[in-house]
Amino acid sequence: MNAVALARDIARPVMSPPYLIFLGDAPDIGWAKTGAGLAYWRREECLGQFRAGTATVDLGLPDLDPTAAVAAGARTLVIGMANDGGYIDDAWVPGIIDALTAGLDVAAGLHQRLADHPQIAAAAARAGRRLFDVRHPDRDFMPGTGEKRSGLRLLTVGVDCAVGKKFTALAIERELRARGVAADFCATGQTGIMIAGRGIAIDSVVADFISGAAEWLSPVAAVDHWHVIEGQGSLLHPAYAGVTLGLVHGSQPDALVICHEAGRTRLQGYERYSCASLRHALDVHLEAARLTNKEARGIGVSLNTSSYAEPKARALLAEATEETGLPACDPVRFGVGPIVDAMLATWH
Amino acid sequence: MNAVALARDIARPVMSPPYLIFLGDAPDIGWAKTGAGLAYWRREECLGQFRAGTATVDLGLPDLDPTAAVAAGARTLVIGMANDGGYIDDAWVPGIIDALTAGLDVAAGLHQRLADHPQIAAAAARAGRRLFDVRHPDRDFMPGTGEKRSGLRLLTVGVDCAVGKKFTALAIERELRARGVAADFCATGQTGIMIAGRGIAIDSVVADFISGAAEWLSPVAAVDHWHVIEGQGSLLHPAYAGVTLGLVHGSQPDALVICHEAGRTRLQGYERYSCASLRHALDVHLEAARLTNKEARGIGVSLNTSSYAEPKARALLAEATEETGLPACDPVRFGVGPIVDAMLATWH
């Protein structure tokens, strides 16, 4: 089966733009990852934000309620919040029902399905609107085979969750394409799927099939084609490392980019756990990656330096390079040029 | 919540003994793990084996067809085969339907549910018999917390799949109890669940919740109580390591026993992958375990020496001790006494 056929195969019916981003009670951007990702990478499709409840986060979009959003042309309310456990918080339900009643479809990337929530399902049926649960795989997988596939693969890995793995992968895809190199972003989480219009929420597959799903996500491809795969979690995370390991093994990455947020010293939400050094975290992921691809190597560092002024940010990137021997970028602030330079110098 | 309450909570309705073990087309014991485990640990509940099709494996039980088994008092046909992918093979269906028609319930530990197979479901409905799918978790989980729990925990880990991790854990539970130490086997696979009457098929939970399910399986307990946890897969397996890592992190084991089959040099079914040394495999699992329990240590080696005569078997165990510095046992042949001696000397 060729890569193009498979890439089409994993496209799924996705929600219709333009979007109204629901921010519910999200206190900050960390709780509004999905909304923030969509607002950044698909800005032209986001008409507004709906801050019902106590949300204090601001994506910089116009504030609209569902009725105003419908009048402006919006077609889908996207749940912009991501909580641990991925359930529908009771506090969100009135806002979701308002949106359905106003005439919007609703899309979510939660473990709990919108369609399984009785009040939401009933409101959707009354209003004749559609519910999209993009996190749920719409096909079955098999266990991984561990057999090497042609093509080049980059996987972003992390010291922790929520450190920029998706953003970094999207930025690398964009930079490769800008340089005329064939590249496809492979989404492994709900926000990535919403942005890309395809992918697999790798944390939602049955545990036995993590690596098999990852193998399927970046199929056989041309020898100079890059699959740029969105990483998940961290091998050093007490809750999510299993997902990460299956994704590392199944992805068979040639190149790893280690991602972190500068200044974060404890795992987010797991403060009893300290953050590993970039070097150690990269080494742990490299050792795992080499089980299925002996040639795996680190190719860059992605650092979120948004808490620091620019001179300090540049100093932090220089320190990261010193520590790892690899080019270090802040993709939001300075782009990923040096990482892509290294990829092309190494493999092209 | 205390340990006893939780232990009761995870009991599930299980199939009724006595059993007829269905061996279908299993060519050898490796394909009949479930049947073999039940025949060994619950011999008194197994009336016979049903070798329809081309099965050449022999569990040493009387050969009975479903009608003869019902006449002898059997109540449940247990699917004794385990294939990669955990699906219902077409070749098994006639035997399963014969059993239902003869008046037996049917139990399986496959990913694919008996109840989802149209012909099997229809036959069960016609015959008024029950279908048990023990691999499917009957509750929801949350992500792991990484918070330390009281009580002692031992986890069996492996160089590969199918090397005796379940058997070793059951043997250690039995030996601890024989010495008056409080101990509970925690089943993490279909055969273990059938033997113990409770547990979680850890490879069947949603990937995000592997460690959370593992935390839930061995809850807070008395400080001198042992949870003896059945391991799964191997961190060095290209298909199943994600399951293993979540289980290691969530189990927070104090003690690891590394398991292997003497003489196996390539991963079973993944022959391009060579087997790691006992020392290396133990070290990789220990490093992972220390993320959630800094005190984790290796406490023994379990070696399946069944391919060797006794003098060679004893020499292999001595070599394993030499390599690892730990007591080495073949649980089937010589018991697990030296490992339990080491546990008691270290923690009691």
Banded model confidence at residue B8, pLDDT cuts 50, 70, 90: very low
In this structure, of A68-77, A86-95, A324-333, B171-180, the range with the lowest mean pLDDT score is A86-95
Between B208, B236, B249, which is nearest A204 by CB? Answer: B208
Q: pLDDT tens digit string along A242-264?
A: 999 999 999 999 999 999 999 99
pLDDT tops 90 at residue A28: no
Q: pLDDT tens digit string along B85-134?
A: 789 999 999 999 999 999 999 999 888 999 999 999 999 999 999 999 98
B243/A242 touch (CB, cutoff 8 Å), yes or no: yes
* Percent of chain B residues topping a pLDDT of 90: 82
Q: How far apart are CA B24 and CA B77, in angstroms?
A: 11
**Largest Cα–Cα separation, chain B:** 60
Residue A11 has what pLDDT? 39
SS3 per residue for chain B: CCHHHHHHHCECCCCCCCEEEECCCCCCHHHCHHHHHHHHHCHHHEEEEECCCCCCCCCCCCECCHHHHHHCCCCEEEECCCCCCCCCCHHHHHHHHHHHHHCCEEEECCCCCHHHCHHHHHHHHHHCCCEEECCCCCCCCCCCCCCCCCCEEEEEEECCCCCCHHHHHHHHHHHHHHCCCCEEEECCCHHHHHHHCECCCHHHCEHHHHHHHHHHHCCCCCCCCEEEECCCCCCCCCCCHHHHHHHHHHHCCCEEEEEEECCCCEECCEEEEECCCHHHHHHHHHHHHCCCCCCCEEEEEEEECCCCCHHHHHHHHHHHHHHHCCCEECHHHHCCHHHHHHHHHHHC
B116: chain A residues, CB-CB within 8 Å: none
Residue B258: Cβ within 10 Å count: 34
Is A241 near chain B, with CB under 8 Å? Answer: yes
A211/B241 touch (CB, cutoff 8 Å), yes or no: yes
B146/A270 touch (CB, cutoff 8 Å), yes or no: yes
**Do residues A277 and A323 lie in contact, with contact meaning Cβ atoms separated by under 8 Å?**
yes
pLDDT tops 80 at residue B204: yes
Chosen from A240, A270, A290 to mutate, greatest number of chain B CBs within 10 A? A240
* Percent of chain A residues topping a pLDDT of 90: 82
Q: What is the mean pLDDT of chain B?
A: 92
pLDDT tops 70 at residue A53: no
In this structure, of A11-20, A57-66, B25-34, the range with the lowest mean pLDDT score is A11-20
Residue A174 has what pLDDT? 95
What predicted TM-score, i.e. pTM, was given to this entire model? 0.87
pLDDT tops 50 at residue B4: no
Between B241, B273, B292, which is nearest A238 by CB? Answer: B292
Is A86 near chain B, with CB under 8 Å? Answer: yes
Decide which of A8 and B321 is more confident: B321
Average pLDDT of the segment spanning A11-24: 81
Q: Which of residues 162-201 of A touch B (CB under 8 A)?
A: none
pLDDT tops 90 at residue A4: no
Between B84, B206, B249, which is nearest A204 by CB? Answer: B206
ipTM: 0.86
Q: How near does any CA of chain A get to the CA of B96, in Å?
A: 24
Residue B215 has what pLDDT? 97
Return the residue of B nearest to A252 by Cα.
B238
Residue A1 has what pLDDT? 28
Domains in chain A and their CATH numbers? 8-133 (3.40.50.720), 152-347 (3.40.50.300)
A203: chain B residues, CB-CB within 8 Å: 206-208
Of A11, A246, A283, A172, the closest CA to residue B287 belongs to A283
Residue A8 has what pLDDT? 34
Name the CA radius of gyration of chain A, rounded.
20
Between A203, A208, A235, which is nearest B243 by CB? Answer: A208
pLDDT tops 90 at residue B348: yes
pLDDT tops 90 at residue A139: no
Q: How far apart are CA B257 and CA B173, in angstroms?
A: 13
Q: pLDDT tens digit string along B41-85?
A: 989 999 999 987 666 789 999 999 999 999 999 999 999 988 877
Residue B99 has what pLDDT? 97
Banded model confidence at residue B308, pLDDT cuts 50, 70, 90: very high
Between B143, B205, B243, which is nearest A239 by CB? Answer: B143
Residue A85 has what pLDDT? 79
Q: What is the mean pLDDT of chain A?
A: 92
